[in-house]
Structure 1
Amino acid sequence: MEGCSKNNYNNNKMMMSSSRKEDLFHVIHKVPQGDTPYVKAKHAQLVQKDPEAAIVLFWKAINAGDRVDSALKDMAVVMKQLNRSEEAIEAVKSFRGRCSNQAQESLDNVLIDLYKKCGKVDEQIGLLKRKLRLIYQGEIFNGKPTKTARSHGKKFQVSVKQETSRLLGNLGWAYMQKSNYLTAEVVYRKAQMIDPDANKACNLGLCLIKQGRYDDARSVLEDILQDKLPGSEDIKARNRAEELLMELKAFQPPMELSDILGLDDDFVNGIELLVNEWAPLRTKRLPIFEEISTFRDKLSC
């Protein structure tokens, strides 16, 4: 009897040790427990490091209705890593109808990243504007002032102000990719008014450089190095600001026509009057300014 008792004790001890090891394995590799298609997909992705097998298993999980929200998002991320972003976009569009309402916002964020990866700037701009409208209507945060977000496995709280500014920053960068620097500037300045930070200030500085407005750009970038903005202590932001300021040294302000020719102002003004007479009639306001005004009005609605 005593021997049986010892054997039972040892067996229980081994089972407990095995269970602890299994639990520790799942914690270390961040793999859920179980034997479902989704669990197998995560195991292939994170433990076996086999993204192709993971994608096949994520498909199976979606078709089986196994953690569809997570399976679709994870599959899109893996596809993006394999440069299959176009396929990932179609997958998200096709299957997001099977996902919960709570997953739709994060799926929009996945799509924005995929559009950026594929260079689909117009689609990116359209989705960012839609998300901004939803925030204004109180639909994204469910009427609450904050939401819980996740990054690199850590949870944190995001305010409406922070999310709005982040989306505007992304929208400004999208306009930059279209070389629409005037609209990008309007968007960046709006973002900085809501929730300023050094990273967006760098992008605004670059936007102003692209427009040839070197003094304005210098003022924005120097605010970072003088620690006047949140995030100014970030090494990447400071290094980028310093690099852009170094580039500015290569630019000289454009000289006036009178300085170039050594002529007086009256002569220069006379030339401008003649040019205006020769030039075809046109409205003084360029179409781009109409676009900016329209966009500004939409944002302020």
Structure 2
Amino acid sequence: MEGGVKKVAKKEKEPFHVIHKVPSGDGPYVRAKHAQLIQKDPETAIILFWKAINAGDRVDSALKDMAVVMKQLDRTEEAIEAVKSFRGLCPKQAQESLDNILIDLYKKCGKVDEQIMLLKHKLRMIYLGEAFNGKPTKTARSHGKKFQVSVKQEIARILGNLAWAYMQKGNYIASEVVYRKAQMIDPDTNKACNLCHCLMKQGRYEEAHAVLQEVWQYKLPGFDDLKSRNRVEELLLELQESGMPLPSLMPNLPEDLTFDDDDFVEVLERVMNEWAPARSRRLPIFEQISQLRDQMAR
């Protein structure tokens, strides 16, 4: 009981900004954070974030926080324009996190092409050694918690997001190829389920079933999550209901097969050479697509 009293007394002595996890001071950025977190007034927070940016007060933090609040208010297009217009005022080390915010905003408002372009750019930055500030890991934050992310994990995450974007365009072959590359580097249940979905969309049910069997057999990361487990079971049920016909010898190729960026193909090839396990490397990287195109041309 005495220990509990001491903890309460200690907490009461802590400054207001420490208790409520807001910055100290009286500048426009601090007032914006108070409006956002304490007063729960997002509209006022946005006005004050603008003032902070114009006053040069913690510009990178103000820009990021303002974009997040705008997204919450469904002002996504405005947030995109703000980030693109003012990111030049932010230091180099803030650019990567601004890219992540932009990708999230593009995803929110359905700008898939812009999302794909920026994801390719991020992969190039890793290849050129300009991401992570030259370090093998970086500190990331999710739901208020900090954790370490390795270059390998980041590459797999970017490839997974890129594959998802291709899937939104209905380009299931492109999505499949990129998901397979991501799984070679850092496999997990979520990407496996998405890969299964891509294969099912192409009518390749037996291959899709094999992907799910691997999830069950090896208990891939994320398998213990109830939501992921339910999705695996739903996909298995859908496969069973389909009757699982033999896979088509010639899956239909979408007209917009968008692997036309030679520079990106080269970057992705070299990234795979460095980070994928040796037994999983397949050269050239898009030989699967080339073979299908050759067969179609005959």
With the shorter chain as reference, the TM-score category is 0.7 to 0.9
Query: Structure 1 residue 23: deviation in Å?
Result: 3.2
Whether 2:188 is the aligned partner of 1:220: answer: no
Cα distance in 1, alignment partners of residues 178 and 97 from structure 2: 23
Paired residues in the alignment total: 258
Identify the residue that residue 70 of structure 1 maps to in structure 2.
Answer: 61
Instruction: Pick closer, same or farther for the CA change 1:286–1:204 going to 2, 3 Å.
Output: closer
Query: Structure 1 residue 77: deviation in Å?
Result: 0.3
Whether 2:50 is the aligned partner of 1:82: answer: no
- What is the RMSD of the two structures over their aligned residues, measured on CA atoms? 2.6
Whether 2:269 is the aligned partner of 1:300: answer: yes
Identify the residue that residue 184 of structure 2 maps to in structure 1.
Answer: 193
Identify the residue that residue 163 of structure 1 maps to in structure 2.
Answer: 154
Cα distance in 1, alignment partners of residues 12 and 258 from structure 2: 65
Within 5 Å, which residues of 2 pair with 1:122-133?
A: 122-133=113-124
Where does structure 2 lack aligned partners over 5 or more consecutive residues? Answer: 1-7, 248-252, 271-298
Conservation of the 8 A alpha-carbon contact between 1:218 and 1:245: yes
Where does structure 1 lack aligned partners over 5 or more consecutive residues? Answer: 1-16, 257-284
Identify the residue that residue 296 of structure 2 maps to in structure 1.
Answer: none
Whether 2:104 is the aligned partner of 1:116: answer: no
Superposed CA offset, 1:208-246 (max 9, x none):
111111111111122223343222222221111111111
Instruction: Pick closer, same or farther for the CA change 1:246–1:49 going to 2, 3 Å.
Output: same
Identify the residue that residue 291 of structure 1 maps to in structure 2.
Answer: 259
Cα distance in 2, alignment partners of residues 109 and 293 from structure 1: 22
Identify the residue that residue 35 of structure 1 maps to in structure 2.
Answer: 26
Cα distance in 1, alignment partners of residues 86 and 9 from structure 2: 39
Query: Structure 1 residue 298: deviation in Å?
Result: 4.2
Conservation of the 8 A alpha-carbon contact between 2:127 and 2:267: no
Conservation of the 8 A alpha-carbon contact between 1:69 and 1:100: yes
Query: Structure 1 residue 27: deviation in Å?
Result: 3.1
Identify the residue that residue 199 of structure 2 maps to in structure 1.
Answer: 208
Cα distance in 2, alignment partners of residues 146 and 156 from structure 1: 10
Report which of the two structures shows the higher radius of gyration computed on alpha carbons: 1
**Share of identical aligned residues, percent?**
71
Instruction: Pick closer, same or farther for the CA change 1:206–1:131 going to 2, 3 Å.
Output: same
Query: Structure 1 residue 95: deviation in Å?
Result: 0.5
Identify the residue that residue 46 of structure 1 maps to in structure 2.
Answer: 37
Equivalent AA in structure 2 for residue 220 of structure 1 = V
Higher relative contact order (CA 8 A, sep 6+): 2
- Report the TM-score, using the length of structure 2 for normalisation: 0.80
Cα distance in 1, alignment partners of residues 257 and 40 from structure 2: 51
After TM superposition, the runs of 4+ consecutive aligned structure 1 residues lying more than 2 A away are 17-29, 222-228, 252-256, 285-298
Instruction: Pick closer, same or farther for the CA change 1:111–1:289 going to 2, 3 Å.
Output: closer
